[in-house]
A and B are shown apart, each in its own frame.
Chain A
Amino acid sequence: MAEQRTAKRRSFVEQRLGRLEHPGASARVGLADVSLRPRLGVKGIGTIGWMKRHAVTVPENDNLAVAHGAAMLVARLSPSEALLLDTGGGKVMERLAASLPPHGDGGAYPVPRMDTHGWFRLGGPDAPHLFAKLCAVDLRPEKFPNFSVAQTIAARLPVIIIRQNIKNAPHFHVLMDSASALYLWDCIVDAMAEFGGVVEADTDPRGDD
């Protein structure tokens, strides 16, 4: 008899670092590992068509994101690639993932972003200053509007950065190679010490904008 369901999904930071402490919240900058939140990549020439068929809101242009209802953020990475992030909980991501078989559907193919990419969330007024120590893109609120997407390099690591206002305050979703998640985590923790930044728990970050 096979040993069933003994394996548990763990976040990439926790997996490599061990137990993660959540000291609390910071007024200036907070970092949360939200890697356990569902997400899905869709890729291929049929991507936009597949999204429309499944009533997924499509951002107008590449490098833009849009809120799909209150629970999901949709980022368009290229004319043929999108990233769907569960930002508020719910079953919509599960349903969408189930509707996209591994072999594809009409030229749209699933990408296992749940496992290829780690996912951090950064918030607080000093978050752009923190990024200035890691990333050459100007992420200040007035230069990087809500729902902007930057596919860039932070700390010499390819990352996807998406801005989303949460409770009217700018937050940044950062997605990176899952194998390098702990590396980037350490870089961010080091960079945010200057601002009194703290590691926060993954609380429901439902967007309101």
Chain B
Amino acid sequence: MACVVTGSAGFIGRVLTEALLARGERVVGIDRRPQPYRHGLTVLTADLLDGDDLVRAALESADAVYHLAGRPGGTRPVARHRLATPPRQRRGAPVPEPPRAHLPEVHPQEIHMRNTAIRLLAVLLVLVTAACGAEGEGGGGGEGFDDDALVIYSGRNKNLVGPLLDRLSASTGLDVQVRYGDSAELAAQLLEEGDRTRADLFFSQDAGALGALSKQGLLAPVPAALLNRVPQRYRSAEGTWVGVSGRSRVIVYDPRTVTAPPKSVFELTGPEWKGKVGWAPTNASFQAFVTAMRVVSGEDRTRRWLTDMKANGTQTYPNNVDILNAVDAGTLRLGLINHYYWYEKVAEKGPNGVPSKLAFLPGGDPGALVNVAGVGALKAARHPQAAQKAMDFLLGPEAQKYFAQKTKEYPLIAGVQPEAGLPGLDTLNGPEIDLGRLDSLEQTLKLLQDVGLV
């Protein structure tokens, strides 16, 4: 009988080969390690994983195979080639079914862990299926897009304008889908989308983002009838967007430590305010204010002011809300913010929960700038008519009253009054600048970068 012993140079392999030879069998010994020649033994030095032709021939012609090569990686680090297909599939000749190798003992804990693993994967699958099911039924909030709906990208907070935009749907009979986000990030998204956007209308927190879209030619002209409802300074010079609500820059101060708030932002560089003032240089409305200062007071004066402020230990915050909270907490004495954040906080906490007070700066000071939130319709809009209707609604008395009463902003159309307690929009008399002029904003950004603020 012709026997093949794989792993014949190993411990058991050697003994087995001896025994087989002693019984007078002819033995082919396959091993990667060389072995001494013996009478009746054919030595084959080869790696089983190499798919060697001699190995294959030996296996195919054998009457019995003793498969002992249990640790093919035991002595050599690299098994170089793969066995493309098992030999019997390639040649058709049957190879004896090899004995089942014994895997090293698997700890019961490992098996337990594996079961847990499978169960948890199942749970994840169920969650996904459930979520998909919910989406299919229109539940769960993720309806995807609706081709007939007016799609609004809103950079304004859902809590602030959500109720108003809901009314838009009721009063115009349009299905409205709103995508909320950060104004600038939505603008970046719209720039990436280009003419393949799904948005019909962009509702931006500030004019700069609208200016960026306008500059890239993504916004459609707004009809003159709509444009003319708001004063010229609160709309695009090119007629591509229109402001819907105004917000004034103010100084928020802590009356517990400040008896006489400053009358101009230029006083803030004084030693009495050292380390006590907060600002948000990355904030769009702050940058619009710096632009205003550049226009009103000139490049050099602005640069000097920024440098002096920085040298005076002015504290940098990421946004207006944090500045306001810091003043209320007593960390700061003054902060440069937009007026309506204070009113929102009063609405949330009650008048007694907000110790700070606002100081509106007298007209002419760059710190009295009035910014706008505005809307523009996309050129690529699928529902241009509906977008115009929506703009009409936002510039109508109902929406303007909502801005006055709910968000405490300045209504921009004639005939709607701001909330009591706010100085009139015409008395603010802030500097007049083109809010959406991006080139000017870019110069401001460059200045802020030069000074090392952003």
Our verdict on whether A and B bind, yes or no, reads: no
Residues of chain B at the chain A interface (Cβ within 8 Å)? none
